[in-house]
Structure 1
Amino acid sequence: MYKFLNPKATLPGRNQMKSLTLKTFAAAQQTIKSFLKTCNSKISFTIDGWTSFNMKGYYGITAHFIDKNWKLHCILLDFVPAHGQHTGNAIAKLFFEVLQFYDVTKCIQGITTDNTNSNFTFIRELQTHISEIDTKNIHFVCFAHILNLAARDFMKILDSEVEETANILTDISDDDDDDCQVPPSSVRKIRSLAKKLKNS
């Protein structure tokens, strides 16, 4: 593809690509670090875990704040591999190290996480690293995650009710269909079901 677009193009090798990527990432980190030093407001953070198809865990940590010109900034601080178990202790250590690198441990306004037990432990454990934070008032649970869980639970209930209704309709015999004068079989079954419910 590259040769088609530009026959003179030469692709860097695997090691060179890795080296270039790490240099670019380090330069971006320094730019973000310098920018955060100019921020004199509190910062809200989000942290979210993700597992790749080959079962490697990662955490994304994002900073959200408003600058002096009232402009909202959302900056990905790091995308960190998770080593070992996804425990609250491990998450707290990982999160603290990222905040410490950017020198923003004293700027925490709030932290938004998914609604999992390990994240509640993470917030409690974070206090061992940053003693001055108020763990009761900085933790926010992601509303979209709660809504997603509620929708899944609702769909499970709905699926079971639909299945139960389908089973009832299947159980209605053809004899019951005969006393209905409605031509389509689905409508006859529903009408027959209504009769059964009325008579029960």
Structure 2
Amino acid sequence: MLYNDQSSQKKKLDLAVVDMIALDLQPFTIVTDEGFKKLVSLLDPRYDVPSTYTLSGKLLNQRYTDIRNKLKEDMSGVEYVALTCDGWTSRATESYLTITCHFVSNHQLHAVVLSTKPLTNGINHTSENIAASIQEIIDEWEIDHKITSIVTDNAASMIKACELLKKKHFPCYAHTLNLVVQDNMKLIQPILKKCKDIVTFIKQSTSAMEIFKKEQNSEKPLKLIQECPTRWNSSYYMIERILKTNEAIGRTLLKVRKAPQPLSVDDVCVLTELVKVLDIFEEATKKISGSKYVTISLVIPVTMGLYNNFKPPRSPKNGSRSIYVAST
């Protein structure tokens, strides 16, 4: 006999299914998959999995409301909060705004996403529209009087939006580092293009990929990493992987027709030195991007550490390359 709708066990299982879909980013249609239904039947034959309509139209909405009310209750006792805001465009070219709230409760730092929703006017990306969209969320959560600052990227529209909201603005330090590195990476675009062409060729050629794996002579051959244009550290990961597998890459390209030219000795020398520089920025970016600890106090020490690494040394003995020079 199946559980009835008022059964406490069925409610627990329904809740577990909703949480699984939300936490693991699974589609609602997973409940119609034969493998999933078979697994559930073996675990508890009395449980009838809810339909996709019930999940999306009722259970998920109720779960969201319960969590939202609990979070709002928890935040009511918080005196100060800070916000981080980011605008982004979906693959369907729809404009969204995500707002994350940061606060200290019970001596612990918390970061919770308050909202991810379309801009009030999706066509208008002006600072006024962004400010109005942020204000809607602030009013919804009743935190206007608690906000100490808002962190955004360096976009002029975001900075102006904070001015309109009359909130203190802090530029995202990690984004600033990204802009610095991206700007300087333009100086080596020809070599970067060679790297991207090599990665694209091997990834798109079945025969080249097989040869590349065999040439590494390893039980767990490495895969090449392609650059993402908006993230400098993806270039770092791509170059680092190319340097690790450069010998296998060279032998592969010589064995496949219409392959791009392998990297020259000069290219490898430049990339080797470049990785040493990018490694420092990578360490700085990771350190400043933490969500479980306060990061604003790290901005000055990390900046000074970067400065000390790249300024001309006073003597040949001064060769330290750690970003923690300033704080030790």
TM-score, normalised via structure 2 length? 0.43
2:52 equivalent to 1:13: yes
Aligned residues: 154
Sequence identity (%)? 29
C-alpha distance after superposition, 1:8-31 (max 9, x if no partner): 653423365133222222222211
Residue identity matched to 2:98: G
The equivalent of 1:125 in structure 2 is 164
The equivalent of 2:114 in structure 1 is 77
Alignment partner of 1:123: what SS?
A: helix
Residue identity matched to 2:154: N
Mark the runs of 5 or more structure 1 residues left unpaired by the alignment. 128-134, 164-185, 188-200
CA distance in structure 2 between the partners assigned to 1:28 and 1:57 by the alignment: 25
- Within a 5 Å distance, the mapping from 1:69-108 to structure 2 comes to 69-82=106-119, 83-108=122-147
Q: Which structure has the larger Rg over C-alpha atoms?
A: 1
2:184 equivalent to 1:154: yes
CA distance in structure 1 between the partners assigned to 2:53 and 2:185 by the alignment: 46
Alignment partner of 2:145: what SS?
A: coil
C-alpha distance after superposition, 1:116-136 (max 9, x if no partner): 011012112213xxxxxxx4x
Alignment partner of 1:53: what SS?
A: coil
Residue identity matched to 1:70: H
CA distance in structure 1 between the partners assigned to 2:154 and 2:53 by the alignment: 39
Alignment partner of 2:144: what SS?
A: coil
Distance 1:24 1:84, change over 3 A: farther
- Within a 5 Å distance, the mapping from 1:32-181 to structure 2 comes to 32-40=71-79, 42-67=80-105, 69-82=106-119, 83-127=122-166, 135=167, 138-160=168-190
CA distance in structure 2 between the partners assigned to 1:29 and 1:87 by the alignment: 29
The equivalent of 2:37 in structure 1 is 3
Alignment partner of 1:122: what SS?
A: helix
| RMSD over equivalenced CA pairs, Å | 2.2
Residue identity matched to 1:59: L
Shift of 1:161: 7.9
TM-score, normalised via structure 1 length? 0.69
C-alpha distance after superposition, 1:36-77 (max 9, x if no partner): 11112x11110111211111221111111112x321111111
* Structure with a larger share of its residues in strand: 1
Residue identity matched to 2:162: I
Residue identity matched to 1:143: Y
- Point out which structure has higher relative CO (alpha carbons under 8 A, 6+ apart): 1
